[in-house]
Amino acid sequence: MTHAISVHNLEKIYDNGFQALDDVSLEVRRGEIMALLGPNGAGKTTLISTICGIVTASAGHIDVFDYDIIKDYRKARSCIGLVPQELTTDAFETVWKTVCFSRILFGKKPDPDYIESLLKSLSLWEKKDSQIRMLSGGMKRRVMIAKALSHQPDILFLDEPTAGVDVELRKSMWQLVRELRETGVTIILTTHYLEEAEEMADRIGVINNGKLILVEEKKTLMKKLGKKELVLDLHSPLNDIPADLSEFNLHLVQDGHQLVFTYDPAKQDNGVVRLLDCLKDNSIKCKDFNTRQSTLEEIFVQLIGDA
Amino acid sequence: MNYRGMWAIYSFEMARAFRTVGQSVASPVISTVLYFIVFGSAIGSRISDVGGVQYGAFIIPGLIMLTILGQSISNASFGIYFPRFTGTIYEILSAPLSFIEITIGYVGAAATKSFIIGLIVLITANFFVTFEIMHPFWMMFFLVMTCVTFNMLGFIIGIWADGFEKLQLIPLLIITPLTFLGGSFYSINMLPDFWQKVSLLNPVVYLVSGFRWSFYENSDVSITTSVTMILVFLFICLGIITWIFKTGFRLKN
Ligand SMILES: Nc1ncnc2c1ncn2[C@@H]1O[C@H](COP(=O)(O)OP(=O)(O)OP(=O)(O)O)[C@@H](O)[C@H]1O
Ligand SMILES: [Mg+2]
C-alpha cells in the first residue's frame, strides 16, 4: 500500500546557512492523524512548507501518493490542503469569495453547494458575506481551514491549529479533525501541547533541532513518556527517605520540605494509594499536595538524553 | 494548464482594481487634463508644429506611454508585493500552478488595467485636440506590447523589493526620468547630436517613437528598430521571470 506522504532523507539549509532539517525521513500512512511535536524552532513549519512546495529542499525527496512533489507537482499539490501557522488572509475579501477563490485556484470547478456545506460545518455560514478583517481571530482561523478544504484535499496540514484558540473552539476543532478523518482525509498537525497530540493523534513524531527524534504510535509513546509527579508538602522536613519507602521512586527537594513521587498514571497499580498508606504508617504528615504531568520540555530533555 | 487557477488570480486582481475604480480612472484622467492644459494649450500654442504635426496632437502618444509606464510599474509591482508582504502568497505557491500560469494571472490582470487606462487617456485627449491614427494595428501592437512588457518589469520589481521604499524607489529614480527623457514631449531630433546618441540608450525612446509613428508616421527611429527593441525587452523580462521562478528568488526559501 502506498503511503500518503513519504519523505526521504530531507535536508533544508536556509540561505543564511542555518540547517533547519537534518536527514528527516518520515512516512505518513493513509487516513491517519499524525501529530508533529517539537519546541519553537524545531523545524515543524519548515517540514510542512517543504512538502507543500513553499520551501525548496536542499537534499532528499518527497512523494505525495507516489507523486514526486517536484516532477509531478500538479498532482501532488492537488491532493494537499494547507492551513499555515500565521493568520494570513485577504482582509478585504468576504468569507465566501475567498473560499471560492481557493477552490478555483486549485483547478476545481466551482461548487457552491459544497462550499455552503463546508461553511456551515465550520459555523461560518452566517459570516459568509462579512469581510475577513471584521472576524475574530478564531473565526479567521476557521476561514483558513475552509480555504484549505475548499478543493476537497486528501491530505490536510494543520500548522498549530489551536494556537491562540479558546478551550471551546479547541474542542470543536478537535471534533472537526476527527470528522474529517472519518471521511478518509489524512491529517498532519503540529502542536506544542502534549495534551493535544494525546487527544487527537494516531501517531506522534517528535522533532528537535531539525532532527526527527522518533515516530511512534501514540499509545506506546504515552506509556513511555507520560510520567506524572505527586508533590507532597511535608509538615516537618525530612533528612533522608525512610527505608520503608525505598520501594517507591521518591526524591526530596526544597531542603527536605517536599517529597516528590514520580509514577506512571497509565498503570492500574500506580502506587499512589500504597504510598499514602506507607506515609501514614511512618507518621509522615503532609500539609498540602499537588500533581503535575511531565511537561513537553521534560520529555524532550529525556528524549534527547536517550538519543 | 490550470486555466481555472489562472483565471482565479486574474479575476482576483481585476476585482481589486474595481474596488477602487474611481481612483483608477480619475488619476490618469486628471493628469492627462493637466498635461494638456500646460503643454497642449499654454506652452504648445507657442510651439510650432513638430514634423508637420500640431504640438498638442504630437504629445498624445508620448502622454499615453508616460501614463501607462507609470501605472504598469506601480500596479504590477504592488499586485505581487502585497501578497508577499501579508503572507497570502503561500496559497499561490502551494497551488498546482506553474510559474508561467502565475505570471499570466498577475501580469495579465495588471496589463489589462494598463491597457484600459491607455484607452482612457486616448479618449480624454480626444476632447482637447483632433488627431487620427494612421496605423491602428500597429498602435494596438505597441500599446499591448508595452502593457505586457512593463507589467512584467513591475512584477519583477515587486518580487525583488523587500520593503515599501524599494517599491517606490525604482519608479521614482529610474522610470520617471526615463519616460520624461524618452521623447514624450519632444522629438529627440530637437536635441544636440551628443544627447541624441545618449537618448538611444533609453528604451522608452523606442516605444514612444514607434507608438507615435503608428499615429502620424512621424518617428525618431525606424519602426523596425522600435519593434525589435520592444521584443528584446519582452524577452529580457521573460528571461528574468523564468530565472526567478527557477531559483525561487525571494518567493521561496
Ligand atoms: N526563511 C528562513 N531563513 C532562515 N532561517 C529560517 C527561515 N525560516 C525559518 N528559519 C529557522 O529555521 C528553524 C525552524 O523554523 P520552523 O519555523 O520550521 O520551526 P517550528 O518548529 O515551526 O517552530 P514554531 O513552533 O515556533 O512554529 C528556526 O530556527 C528558524 O529560525
Ligand atoms: Mg511553526
The model's pLDDT over B190-245, given as tens digits with 9 standing for 90+, comes to 888 888 888 888 889 998 989 999 998 877 788 898 899 999 999 999 999 999 88
Domains and their CATH numbers in chain A: 3-223 (3.40.50.300), 227-306 (3.30.70.100)
Alpha-carbon gap, residue A230 to A193, rounded angstroms? 21
Q: Is the pLDDT of residue B28 over 90?
A: no
**Per-residue pLDDT band at A1 (split at 50, 70, 90):** low
Alpha-carbon gap, residue A143 to A240, rounded angstroms? 58
Between chains, do A107 and B88 touch, taking CB under 8 Å as contact? Answer: no
**Test mutation, B94, B250, B252, chain A, max A CBs within 10 A:** B94
Task: Please report the pLDDT score of residue A306 as a whole number.
Answer: 61
The residue that leads in pLDDT, B52 or B114, is: B114
Yes or no: say if B76 and B134 are a contact pair by the CB < 8 Å rule: no
Q: ipTM, 2 decimals?
A: 0.86
Q: Which atom of ligand 1 is nearest to the CA of A46?
A: 18
The length of chain A in residues reads 307
Is residue A84 within 8 angstroms of chain B, CB to CB?
yes
Which triple of cell numbers denotes residue B210? 514607434
Task: Please report the pLDDT score of residue A12 as a whole number.
Answer: 96
Supply the pTM of this predicted model.
0.85
- Look at residues A226, A196, A191, A195 and name the one whose alpha carbon lies nearest to residue A206: A191
Q: Considering every ligand atom, which ligand is closest to the CA of A41? A: 1
Task: Please report the pLDDT score of residue A305 as a whole number.
Answer: 64
Q: Is the pLDDT of residue A111 over 90?
A: yes
DSSP secondary structure code for residue B172 in this structure: I
Buried b (16+ CB within 10 A) or exposed e, A41-53: ebbbbbbbbbbbb
Between chains, do B94 and A80 touch, taking CB under 8 Å as contact? Answer: yes
Our CA-based measurement puts residue B245 at a distance from the nearest CA of chain A, in whole angstroms, of 11
Q: How many C-beta neighbours within 10 Å does residue A65 have?
A: 19
Our CA-based measurement puts residue B239 at a distance from the nearest CA of chain A, in whole angstroms, of 21
Is residue A52 within 8 angstroms of chain B, CB to CB?
yes
Q: If you measure from the C-alpha of residue A40 to the centroid of ligand 1, how many angstroms do you get, rounded to a whole number?
A: 8
The A228-234 sheet, strands edge to edge: A250-253, A258-263, A228-234, A286-293
- Percent of the residues in chain A that have a pLDDT greater than 70, as a whole number: 94
* Nearest 10 degrees: Cα torsion B61, B62, B66, B67: -30
Is residue B2 within 8 angstroms of chain A, CB to CB?
yes
User: Which chain A residues are Cβ-neighbours of B91 within 8 angstroms?
Assistant: 82, 102, 105, 147
Report the residue from B12, B87, B96 with minimal CB separation from A77.
B96
Task: Please report the pLDDT score of residue A198 as a whole number.
Answer: 80
The residue that leads in pLDDT, A197 or A186, is: A186
User: Which chain B residues are Cβ-neighbours of A143 within 8 angstroms?
Assistant: none
User: Which chain B residues are Cβ-neighbours of A152 within 8 angstroms?
Assistant: none
**Per-residue pLDDT band at B129 (split at 50, 70, 90):** confident
